Amino acid sequence: MGIRVAYLTHYADLYGANRSLLDLMLQLRAAHNVEPMVFLPVDGPLIERLADLGIAHKVVPWAPWMTKRHYEGGWHHRFQQHIRYLRQARGNRIRNKALRPILEEQLAKWGTQLVHVNSLAVGMATELVGRLSIPLVWHMREMPERHYGFHHDHGVRAYVDALKKADARIAISDAVRKDVAHRIGPSVPVEVVHNGIYTAPGFAAAALGSEERWRNVAPFTFLMAGVIHPAKGHDEAIAALAIVLREHKARLRIIGGGNKDGLRRAIHAQGLQDQVDLLDYADDLSEFYGSGHALLMCSRHEALGRVTIEAMAHGLPVIGRAEGGTLEVIEDGSTGLLYDKGPEELAVRMLQLIRDPEGAREMATAAMRDVAVRFTVEGSADRVMQRYTELLQDHGAKS
């Protein structure tokens, strides 16, 4: 029998955090005899994927311990909104307290030996493992306050205490490690393990046909992929494209889920309806990556950037905002380009690629080689498994 690890994730869509979790679990199962079971609070596409892969799963509808709070109107309106948020937070705590015995029973019944939490947004973990007396690994995949503007409904102290109680903390980038450290302090150990994006054969498959895009570079087409959210910088890309179009023909293709109303307004305000394609999100982005010549990663406070690495693996040069984990992925001028001064500088970088497609192709080739070494699923899973082994050995010694 393998090691039984329960994974708690915070949502059921197939965006970056859950795609990385799937890759990790499959590699741990194949190479390290880990038996995974996934617990999640809602139904969604992830459930179907888990069923197809033969991974045990259970929906337990707990509430997150982080929410976005938006205030508007006069002081009295804001006060009423604040009261509603407080009531919602109290209701969520009561709900989670009632659900905790159910989740605890499921973990015990399954014979869980270790709990792996897949997001900082899951606040159910520490009480569970404390009662079951099993190790807890907290996988930190986001910067919830800076990137998404989340509020800690249980209070910052409860958040900090919970993270400190974990037996191990893993951050997907040094940017995330530093972001967590400003709350829990630099003395609390956090190990950095970059996400594995593809297996070694997967990187080889992604590179196939990557040269085809350079046979026709007119119009030069830029891509953006991921959830539609203000922090992702779509508005900046739209403004930059408008500047680029003063000198060259170009296109922008955007794929992603979420509310696109604000994005459509920005496109219409710039008169770019004929130059920008808005596409619904797809689980497999391989075809999308093949439809352009470069990717824009304009995200502010990006934790690492799975899309960035995927695009590089598919032979796309990436222009990234010089913030967060993007700085750990792109070597400026070698494996991609960086900018930090808004749409004007982004437009300069875009024009650089348009004017020198051969240089763009060479940059993309260097990027493919780099990410295929640094971001393998095998390497990530090996390091996570090493941490599991150490924790279980230590737990056995204490029992």
Specify burial of residue 130 (Cβ count, 10 A radius: 0-12, 13-18, 19+): exposed
**Residues 178, 36 share a domain:** yes
Q: Is the pLDDT at 398 greater than 70, yes or no?
A: no
Cα gap 179→301, rounded to integer Å = 10
User: Which pLDDT band holds residue 397 (cuts at 50, 70, 90)?
Assistant: low
**Residues 214, 74 share a domain:** no
pLDDT digit string, tens, across residues 297-314? 999 889 999 999 999 999
**Residues 107, 192 share a domain:** yes
**Residues 332, 272 share a domain:** yes
Mean pLDDT of the chain: 94
**Residues 241, 209 share a domain:** yes
Range of the domain at 342: 200-374
**Residues 83, 134 share a domain:** yes
Q: Is the pLDDT at 396 greater than 80, yes or no?
A: no
**Residues 219, 275 share a domain:** yes
Query: What is the bridge-based pairing of β-strands 150-152 and 66-68?
Result: antiparallel
**Residues 222, 148 share a domain:** no
**Residues 183, 70 share a domain:** yes
**Residues 345, 382 share a domain:** no
**Residues 292, 312 share a domain:** yes
What value does the mean pLDDT take over residues 134-154? 89
Q: Is the peptide bond before 201 cis (omega within 30 degrees of 0)?
A: no
Which CATH number is 229's domain given? 3.40.50.2000
Q: Is the pLDDT at 395 greater than 80, yes or no?
A: yes
**Residues 323, 186 share a domain:** no
How many structural domains does the chain have?
2
Query: And the tokens for 340?
Result: 């930090």
105, 235, 272, 279, 297 from 239: Cα distances, Å: 53, 6, 10, 19, 14
User: Which pLDDT band holds residue 166 (cuts at 50, 70, 90)?
Assistant: very high
Q: The pTM is what?
A: 0.92
